[in-house]
A and B are shown apart, each in its own frame.
Chain A
Amino acid sequence: MTADKKDLLAMYRTMVTIRQFETMAGEYFAAGQIPGFIHLSIGQEGSSTGVCSCLRPDDYVATTHRGHGHMIAKGADLKRMVAELFGKATGYCKGKGGSMHIADFSIGILGANGVVAGGLPLICGAGLSIKLRKTDQVAVVFFGDGASNRGPVHEAMNMASIWKLPVLFVVENNQWASTTPQGSACALGDLCRRAAGYNMPGYSVDGNDVLAVRETTLKAVAEARKGEGPSMIENKTYRVRGHFEGDPQKYRDQAEVLTWQEKNDPVKRFEELLLKDQVLTKKKSKTVWDEVKGELDAAIEFAKNSPFPKPEDALEDLFVNA
């Protein structure tokens, strides 16, 4: 048993939190209350939750433009996240980052990255730092199937492997890189096969099965902590929303989206499993959804009541001791 009842319920709560957070973000964006543009991870909660459930607070995570779920699963504060989305001074980045650039270095989140595959070279640095400092931390980078085609991925996976860095390369194959279907942009169907080229273990996992993700990640994390080097995990999942909110999605058939939503929703799947195994009751489930909604409402209230940054705050934070 790799997860006791407490773990299972914690994972369920995390998935519910991500789902509600993303849904809320989509609604506030549509209502014009979130500036810029946002990328939601609805339908990918199994990957973020499963992976991060295996991590300690001092482990590192580098995430992507679609990073809200990873942030939440690693333990980020909802109030400061919502405030950042709203562009408020109380946000994680005091309004300088927005949805695409949230970080919390106090819990090892090295930041969401607006450059596709930008996190991979950086995570090698974190892995190298762990090795030089001789700790047993691990460093995880999330990236997408689109990112997997970029050059830095090759450099990073090779370097991590030759130096046996404690790094997990987690590719979330959500089938769509913006408007481009995965199969038309990469000669491989199973992206985990790339791992063989770097002599590291590669796993393809049903990314919408949170326990399968956790199982595989636990193994990879244990190997990394022991100094046995990096692994690649491909979580096969699906991007239910558009690339960005407001994406007209002319490139795909909505029937495809509906099929995934109805038949392969990671939150629903886990909920049904927990109900079947009597870890969860309908009543307890409702309590979790209600409690999370309460937390989110409080976070939204906090964000709404927070001040915008002063315009001239734009000149702060460029340099240490500036």
Chain B
Amino acid sequence: MSDRIMSASAALAEALHEEMARDETIFILGEDLTAHAGIFGQFKGIPEKFPGRILDTPISEACIAGCGVGSALTGMRPIVDFHFSDFVTCGMDEFCNQAAKIRYMFGGQVKLPMVVWCPDGAGLRAAAQHSQSLEAWFVHTPGLKVVVPSEAADVKGLMKASIRDDNPVMFFQHKRLFSKEGHVPADPEFIIPLGRAAVKREGRDVSLLTYGSGFFLCMTAAQELAKEGIEAEVVDLRTLSPLDMDTVAASVKKTFRAVIVHEACVTGGFGGELAARIQAELFDHLDAPVLRVGAKDVPIPFSPPMEDFVLPKPADVIQAVKAVCYR
């Protein structure tokens, strides 16, 4: 079947339409979902096609998350819309103390199939409380899966896999990328298994290990670097937990150099974890220290010159690549 060009938002909606038609235990709940098919229009057509299966809640994040947990434990497959990923702080007990631990601490008695959809990321001049990239918090919580798609096809394939997964999945989708278009396979069984990274650009000189919005920075940087004779390999991790270390290792063993790129601030970010694993597992294959590129360690500021300054740019990736290539 041929691919279509569609936006990440449309890819998400298509995944939800297909899965909700396939499995009647799937439902969506969150704030302000039906009036405009989600605040980003991400649920287009769902209120009409699946009435009663997309529910508007009060502004009660802890209870929205709890409704996800409790319904997942009792036979449903909830998709919890968290409005802005920044608001996960208001549901942290439900995510980290309940969802992440219930299967384990009760000895594997029960499954908890829940997807928490978190629109995240900066660049919309939305300031400090509507712009964060918080995925690392959840990678640090055993019992949660963490998915961060970049391209439209990844959004669709990973959302379908997340919905079908019997475990709680935190799904971070970048707000600024909703309208970004890409090829999406038409096959309704197109699914990207969780825990599988993709080498999206082959190269011999350096491995760019990235996810989410960082992927696009890396692709832009790679094109620029090619003009200077440096061929960067771009590995889109796609899921951070579980992590596809095999694909990372294969790439690093080929290039001997790694730069990790994400939009989240550098300190305590996922890059630190990945860098630690690379040095521990691939030390003999490295010709240079592993470098990280991410946002500066401040909250995201409002005013455009400051926000742009704080966020990582292709130039930062290029600079890091040149450093590890000693160029």
Contact = CB atoms under 8 A, between A and B. Distances in A.
Interface of A: 60, 62, 91-97, 101-105, 110-111, 113-115, 118, 120-130, 132-133, 139, 151-152, 155-156, 158-159, 162, 316-321
A128 B109 contact: no
A129 B70 contact: yes
A96 B143 CA distance: 14
8 residue pairs, one from A and one from B, having the closest CB atoms: A121-B66, A125-B70, A317-B108, A93-B107, A155-B63, A155-B60, A320-B166, A94-B107
A60 B75 CA distance: 12
A156 B106 contact: no
Interface stretch (B36-44, B90-98, B201-209, B245-253): B90-98
A18 B143 CA distance: 33
A245 B93 CA distance: 26
Contacts of B145: 319
B285 to A, nearest CB: 28
A126 B93 contact: no
Nearest to B52: A132
Contact of B72 (A96, A97, A125, A158): A125
Interface string B286-315: 000000000000000000000000000000
Nearest to A141: B70
B111 interface: yes
Given A115-B98, A162-B58, A321-B166, A152 B63 contact: yes
Contact of B62 (A60, A93, A151, A321): A151
Contacts of A124: 63, 66-67, 70
A122 B70 contact: yes
Contacts of A120: 63, 66
A156 B60 CA distance: 8
Given A115-B98, A128-B71, A133 B76 contact: yes
A165 B142 CA distance: 32
A103 B104 CA distance: 11
Interface of B: 27, 29, 52-53, 55, 57-58, 60-63, 65-76, 78, 93-94, 97-98, 102-111, 142-143, 145, 165-167
A121 B94 contact: yes
Contacts of A129: 70-71, 74-76
Given A128-B70, A139-B70, A155-B61, 15 more contacts: A94-B108, A101-B105, A105-B109, A105-B110, A125-B68, A125-B74, A126-B73, A128-B67, A129-B70, A152-B62, A152-B93, A155-B60, A317-B104, A318-B142, A319-B167
8 contacts: A95-B107, A114-B97, A122-B73, A129-B70, A139-B70, A152-B63, A159-B57, A318-B143
Contacts of B75: 129, 133
B63 A159 contact: yes
Nearest to A114: B97
Residue among A114, A124, A125, A132 with most chain B CB within 10 A = A125
B195 to A, nearest CB: 11
Contacts of B53: 132
B67 A159 contact: yes
B77 to A, nearest CB: 10
Contacts of A105: 73, 106, 109-110
Contacts of A155: 58, 60-63
Residue among B52, B71, B165 with most chain A CB within 10 A = B71
B67 A125 contact: yes
Contacts of A60: 74
Contacts of B71: 125-126, 128-129, 132
A121 B111 contact: no
A317 B74 contact: no
Contacts of A159: 57-58, 60, 63, 67
Contact of B107 (A92, A126, A127, A319): A92
Contacts of B68: 125
B81 to A, nearest CB: 15
Given A118-B97, A320-B167, A96 B106 contact: yes
Contacts of B102: 111
B70 A92 contact: no
A312 B57 CA distance: 42
B182 to A, nearest CB: 29
A97 B106 contact: yes
Contacts of A133: 75-76
Contacts of A104: 109
B109 A122 contact: no
Given A115-B93, A156-B63, A320-B166, A126 B108 contact: no
A122 B68 CA distance: 8
A152 B106 contact: no
Contact of A156 (B27, B29, B55, B66): B66
A118 B73 contact: no
